[in-house]
């Protein structure tokens, strides 16, 4: 098997694979994902046929994230996934590595040295429009402050990833909470293969998070949204219950190495399950 970095077109293909697996990626994810680490998306080939994929994004010199680990159904059980996994872990080096593991794979990840940090629960929500005045559309000059806010709450800098993610596209919109000239929160909503996902959702308290969620829904013209909430923030789960969110499925946030020391009380929605 030959292993090589994906092109942007290859990554688009792998996101189609992810859709086939029921993971429901965004319509416009590939470019922002690729910007995070162009060498961090690996594809396995047998001859001219792509057979497996993994993302192993190096967010900074000490932290990376693993996702999009897919072997095509007809190639499973033939060792191609294991070879690609090893190449991906080699790419990440001695970094702390995070991932969001589906239930069926959590035992395998544990045997590979990953430990559970918390559950992440995907909720389906109805968010009545609420164009809250402090929620402002993001301008390019705001990007460094938004990346700084995410670094503060997540515990790791992810500048290349979020610089691209927070830049609006026709299918992705970001709003920031601004209080007396200070950015206190941020949220992104994007169109997916099915419906709309919110992520990240960062806010100082529940009231601001709920209003920002509604403002995002209003900004893109929908009432129904999906959001991946970390169990590590009990206030997020309380908000979900209060607003009548319906749980859909869960993953496990796992780390190889010490988990980042962030501010989980401010994280009401994860950015993505693919890149963290």
Q: Cα–Cα distance between 112 and 182 in angstroms, integer?
A: 42
Q: Cα–Cα distance between 90 and 270 in angstroms, integer?
A: 26
Output the pLDDT for position 131: 61
Q: What is the average per-residue pLDDT within 175-191?
A: 93
- Give the helix/strand (H/E) hosting 9: helix 8-20
**pTM reported for the whole predicted model:** 0.93
Q: Of 218, 194, 71, whose CA–CA distance to 137 is shortest?
A: 218
Q: Cα–Cα distance between 63 and 47 in angstroms, integer?
A: 33
Q: Of 104, 102, 108, 115, whose CA–CA distance to 85 is shortest?
A: 108
Residues 217-256: pLDDT tens digits? 988 888 889 999 999 999 999 999 888 899 999 999 999 9
Output the pLDDT for position 237: 93
Pairing of strands 2-5, 41-46: antiparallel
Count the alpha carbons within 13 Å of 90 in the hemisphere toward its beta carbon: 8
Whether 199 contacts 188, CB under 8 Å: yes
Pairing of strands 63-71, 96-101: parallel
Output the pLDDT for position 63: 98
List, in sequence order, every beta strand (DSSP E) within the chain.
2-5, 41-46, 49-60, 63-71, 96-101, 115-126, 135-137, 172-179, 182-191, 196-202, 224-230, 246-256, 267-269
Residues 23-48: pLDDT tens digits? 999 999 999 999 999 999 999 999 99
Q: Cα–Cα distance between 54 and 14 in angstroms, integer?
A: 9
Output the pLDDT for position 181: 84
Q: What is the average per-residue pLDDT within 68-80?
A: 92
Output the pLDDT for position 223: 81
Give 66 or 131, the one with higher predicted confidence.
66
Maximal C-alpha separation, the chain: 59
Whether 13 contacts 50, CB under 8 Å: yes
Whether 120 contacts 253, CB under 8 Å: yes
Kindly state the percentage of the chain with pLDDT values over 70. Answer: 98
pLDDT-derived band at 148 (thresholds 50, 70, 90) equals: very high
List, in sequence order, every beta strand (DSSP E) within 107-155.
115-126, 135-137
Residues 92-141: pLDDT tens digits? 999 999 999 988 889 999 999 999 999 999 999 877 666 666 789 999 99
Q: Cα–Cα distance between 136 and 236 in angstroms, integer?
A: 22
Q: What is the average per-residue pLDDT within 76-92?
A: 94
Whether 114 contacts 257, CB under 8 Å: no
**Which domains, from first to last, does the chain contain?**
2-117 (3.40.630.30), 122-269 (3.40.630.30)
Output the pLDDT for position 150: 96
The mean of the pLDDT values for the chain is 94
């Amino acid at each position: 098997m030959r292993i090589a970095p994906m092109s942007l077109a290859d990554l688009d293909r792998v996101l189609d694979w992810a859709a086939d697996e029921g993971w429901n990626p965004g319509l416009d994810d590939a470019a922002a994902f690729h910007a995070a680490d162009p060498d961090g998306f690996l594809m396995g080939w047998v001859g001219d046929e792509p057979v497996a994929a993994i993302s192993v994004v190096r967010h900074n010199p000490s932290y990376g994230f693993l996702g999009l680990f897919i072997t095509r159904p007809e190639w499973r059980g033939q060792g191609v996934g294991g070879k690609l996994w090893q190449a991906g872990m080699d790419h990440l080096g001695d970094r702390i590595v995070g991932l969001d593991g589906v239930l069926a794979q959590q035992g395998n990840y544990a045997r590979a040295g990953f430990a559970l940090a918390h559950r992440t629960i995907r909720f389906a929500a109805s968010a009545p429009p609420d164009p809250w005045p402090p929620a402002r559309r993001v301008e390019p000059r705001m990007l460094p402050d938004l990346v700084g806010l995410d670094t503060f709450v997540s515990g790791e800098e992810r500048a290349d990833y979020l610089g691209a993610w927070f830049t609006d596209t026709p299918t992705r919109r970001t709003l920031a909470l601004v209080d007396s000239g200070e950015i206190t929160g941020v949220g992104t909503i994007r169109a997916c293969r099915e419906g709309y996902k919110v992520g990240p959702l960062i806010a100082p308290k529940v009231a601001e998070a709920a209003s920002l969620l509604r403002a995002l829904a209003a900004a893109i013209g929908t009432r129904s949204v999906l959001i991946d909430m970390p169990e590590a923030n009990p206030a997020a789960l309380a908000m979900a219950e209060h607003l009548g969110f319906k749980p859909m499925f869960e993953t496990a946030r796992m780390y190889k190495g010490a988990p980042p020391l962030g501010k989980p009380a401010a994280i009401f929605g994860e950015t993505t399950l693919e890149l963290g």
